[in-house]
Amino acid sequence: MVAVMNVDFESCFIFMFFCLFLLLCYPLFFKKPKDSQGGFNLPPSPPSLPIIGHLHLLLSTLTHKSLQKLSSKYGPLLHLRIFNVPVIFVSSASVAYEIFRAHDVNFSFRGNPPIGESLLVGSSGFFTASYGDYWKFIKKLMVTKLLGPQALERSQRIRVDELELFYTSLFDKAMKNESVEISKEAMKLINNSICKMIMGRSFSEENGEAERVRGLVTESTALTKKIFMANMLHSFLKKLGISLFKKEIMSVSCRFNELLERILEEQGEKLDEDQDMDMMAVMLAAYRDKNAECKITRNHIKSLFVDLVVAGTDTSRHATQWTMAEIINNPKVLEKLREEIDSVVGRTRLVQETDLPNLPYLQAIVKEGLRLYPPGPLFARTSREACRIGGFYMQEKTPLVINAYAVMRDPDFWEEPDEFKPERFLVPGKEEEREQAHKYIPFGIGRRGCPGSNLAYIFVGTAIGVMVQCFDWKIGGDKVNMEEARGSLVLTMAHPLKCIAVARTPNLQIPSS
Ligand code: HEM
């Protein structure tokens, strides 16, 4: 058996030289992929470098943008080679539509998890699970206990309380004339709500536990690009006994594990008294039940928690931050939104999630924010079987990456695609057509699409609603700097939005305060 080696490369150049060395030792592994099978070719591809293929293009700091640029030259369906692994990239709605209309099940896999034992993208995870019995069991549980419309109605009180705390924290800062970091406040709101919804309690602020969880979520997000590379190269590097970025991934996983073991002990103790079981309690009951429909391990429970907290928190808080930044940069949008909230909700009570259906402009703003700044600009799948797409041949286990950023800024489908224009989402009848035709895909596509989209709309909608209803916002300078941070695969602002809140609703009643 090949000994597994942990690799923690700080520089991609070291990596490249290392691979060059390996090339001399293992010519066998560096054969070019077969470009054609049965007369069909792979999609077009830009010129590649010897050995590493197009690796350098994927290491570029804003991967979704460099891929968008490449696709405008080589077409919306292209292939890049990472060493000898061909990866297919999709950058247009029409190609995405063609693939998922005919091959949704075939592309409902995410490839082998790069580090099996990790709670973060390991083999016990839901995100990484194959499309099969375990995935179906958890998806059903997720809908009935956490994310479906009825489950969301049952957990509404949790979010109402957290939204009030969010408002109170902003109000305190406004009174002290203290700067507000929007993404930090949004992170608290979202993370506390999700934790309470999953396990019936949030982590304690007093002993620093809550801050530790938020820190782990941020660290996990910062690893997305490394995880993406580890995933793409997993089957190739496994042959060489290399486990890419294992040390960093396991470090986060171990700290999550420590925290979650404590929670599980606690949850297990109160299980017997619990009638109305939350999601974690149901998982624990299934773990204890030898005859359960699906065999659940302790790692399944912990990994699911990590998946939900990481997938739900950072995405929603970045979406809130980007959208708020656009609102501040567009005073007319702010004014129009405020008029809508003032006329529907008034100024004496806090806007609530039950108001959202009556606030179409607020909904349009949230959608437009997600269109321009999808927190997950690239999402990856893997084909289970060989298939043909647009006359091109894809072997089994071919990684497929959808560039949601490029799809949602495609000038063939979107007028003035780079402009923030929420009004485009107010045209009746257009919305359904867009989603069905895969033109609007911030939450992915098909059966592996995001199960948390309804909850995400609630988080972002209510957070933006409260910030606009209750405060004026002062920034240093004329405009918020919308530059993107480099190096992460989660769309992040290079300069986190910091501003001063000025209270504008002196007669607001907060029931619990
Ligand atoms: C603005 C917020 C959010 C965005 C933009 C977002 C986006 C995404 C995307 C692009 C995917 C991959 C979809 C695909 O492969 O087609 C995904 C998957 C997922 N998301 Fe979200 N998400 C958000 C919020 C949430 C929330 C609040 C939760 C739950 C608490 C959640 C849970 C998940 C899970 C569990 C998956 C994996 C689904 C699977 O593999 O079957 N997400 N999300």
Please give the tally of structural domains in the chain: 1
- Determine the Cα–Cα distance for residues 96 and 101; give it in Å rounded to an integer: 8
pLDDT of residue 241: 81
Does residue 448's CB lie within 6 angstroms of at least one atom of ligand 1?
A: yes
Range of the domain at 81: 40-503
Average pLDDT over residues 14-24: 53
pLDDT of residue 16: 54
What is the number of the ligand 1 atom nearest to the C-alpha of 128? 40
Residue nearest to atom 25 of ligand 1 (CA): 312
Assess whether pLDDT exceeds 90 at residue 314: yes
- Quote the ligand 1 centre to 456 CA distance (angstroms): 9
Does residue 364's CB lie within 6 angstroms of at least one atom of ligand 1?
A: no
Q: Which of 315, 407, 464 to mutate to test the pocket of ligand 1 (most atoms within 8 A of CB)?
A: 315
- Determine the Cα–Cα distance for residues 76 and 93; give it in Å rounded to an integer: 9
- Determine the Cα–Cα distance for residues 473 and 192; give it in Å rounded to an integer: 25
- Determine the Cα–Cα distance for residues 143 and 248; give it in Å rounded to an integer: 32
- Please indicate, yes or no, if residue 469 is contained in any of the structural domains: yes
Q: Which of 220, 443, 462 to mutate to test the pocket of ligand 1 (most atoms within 8 A of CB)?
A: 443
- Nearest partner of 329 among 422, 214, 211, judged by Cα: 422
- Render pLDDT for 29-82 as a digit per residue (tens, 0 to 9): 444 555 444 455 889 999 999 988 998 888 877 899 999 999 999 999 999 998
Pair 124, 138: CB distance under 8 Å = no
- Quote the ligand 1 centre to 457 CA distance (angstroms): 12
Q: Which residues, at least 6 apart from 227, have a Cβ–Cβ distance to it below 8 Å?
A: 114, 120, 121, 245, 249
Assess whether pLDDT exceeds 80 at residue 472: yes
Residue nearest to atom 41 of ligand 1 (CA): 448
The pLDDT-based confidence of 510 (bands split at 50, 70, 90) is confident
- Nearest partner of 190 among 198, 108, 472, judged by Cα: 198
- Please indicate, yes or no, if residue 7 is contained in any of the structural domains: no
Tokens for 201, please give them. 């309690």
Q: What is the percent of the chain where pLDDT is above 90?
A: 67
Helix axes 453-470, 331-344, angle to 10 degrees: 90
- Quote the ligand 1 centre to 450 CA distance (angstroms): 4
- Render pLDDT for 244-273 as a digit per residue (tens, 0 to 9): 899 999 999 999 999 999 888 887 766 665
Does residue 407's CB lie within 6 angstroms of at least one atom of ligand 1?
A: no
DSSP line for 122-170: STT-SSS--TTHHHHHHHHHHIIIIISHHHHHHTHHHHHHHHHHHHHHH
Q: How high is the mean pLDDT of the chain?
A: 88
- Please indicate, yes or no, if residue 510 is contained in any of the structural domains: no
- Quote the ligand 1 centre to 486 CA distance (angstroms): 22
Does residue 126's CB lie within 6 angstroms of at least one atom of ligand 1?
A: yes
Comparison of pLDDT for 9 and 56, the residue scoring more: 56
Q: How big is the chain, counted in residues?
A: 513
- Quote the ligand 1 centre to 449 CA distance (angstroms): 7
Task: Indicate the pairing of strand 399-403 with strand 85-90.
Answer: parallel
- Determine the Cα–Cα distance for residues 292 and 269; give it in Å rounded to an integer: 20
pLDDT of residue 26: 46
- Quote the ligand 1 centre to 169 CA distance (angstroms): 28
pLDDT of residue 417: 97
DSSP line for 319-373: HHHHHHHHHHH-HHHHHHHHHHHHHHT-SSB---GGGGGG-HHHHHHHHHHHHHS
pLDDT of residue 513: 54
- Render pLDDT for 195-234 as a digit per residue (tens, 0 to 9): 999 988 888 888 888 999 999 999 999 999 899 888 888 8
Lowest mean pLDDT among 115-129, 132-146, 304-318, 425-439: 425-439
Tokens for 467, please give them. 């910030």
pLDDT of residue 512: 62
Assess whether pLDDT exceeds 50 at residue 388: yes
pLDDT of residue 458: 98
pLDDT of residue 269: 65
What is the number of the ligand 1 atom nearest to the C-alpha of 404? 10
- Please indicate, yes or no, if residue 296 is contained in any of the structural domains: yes
Average pLDDT over residues 7-21: 51
pLDDT of residue 198: 92
The pLDDT-based confidence of 497 (bands split at 50, 70, 90) is very high
- Quote the ligand 1 centre to 478 CA distance (angstroms): 34
Assess whether pLDDT exceeds 70 at residue 324: yes
ipTM, 2 dp: 0.99
Per-residue burial over 164-197, b if 16 or more Cβ lie within 10 Å, else e, is bbbbebbbebbeeeeebebbebbbbbbbbbbbbb
Does residue 111's CB lie within 6 angstroms of at least one atom of ligand 1?
A: no
- Determine the Cα–Cα distance for residues 59 and 67; give it in Å rounded to an integer: 11
pLDDT of residue 272: 60
Average pLDDT over residues 401-414: 95
Opening angle at CA 299, ends 297 and 303, nearest 5: 125
The pLDDT-based confidence of 187 (bands split at 50, 70, 90) is very high
pLDDT of residue 30: 46
- Please indicate, yes or no, if residue 471 is contained in any of the structural domains: yes
Q: Which of 450, 455, 462, 464 to mutate to test the pocket of ligand 1 (most atoms within 8 A of CB)?
A: 450
- Please indicate, yes or no, if residue 398 is contained in any of the structural domains: yes
- Please indicate, yes or no, if residue 400 is contained in any of the structural domains: yes
- Quote the ligand 1 centre to 445 CA distance (angstroms): 10
- Please indicate, yes or no, if residue 482 is contained in any of the structural domains: yes
pLDDT of residue 21: 52
Tokens for 406, please give them. 């490029």
Residue nearest to atom 6 of ligand 1 (CA): 443
pLDDT of residue 3: 40
Helix (H) or strand (E) holding 313: helix 298-329
What is the number of the ligand 1 atom nearest to the C-alpha of 197? 30
Comparison of pLDDT for 232 and 88, the residue scoring more: 88
Binding-site positions read: 450
The gap from C-alpha 163 to its chain's centroid, in whole angstroms, comes to 22
Residue type, 475: I
Average pLDDT over residues 336-360: 97
Pair 147, 455: CB distance under 8 Å = yes
Does residue 452's CB lie within 6 angstroms of at least one atom of ligand 1?
A: yes
Lowest mean pLDDT among 27-41, 128-142, 156-170, 465-479: 27-41
CATH of the domain at 377: 1.10.630.10
Binding-site positions for heme read: 450
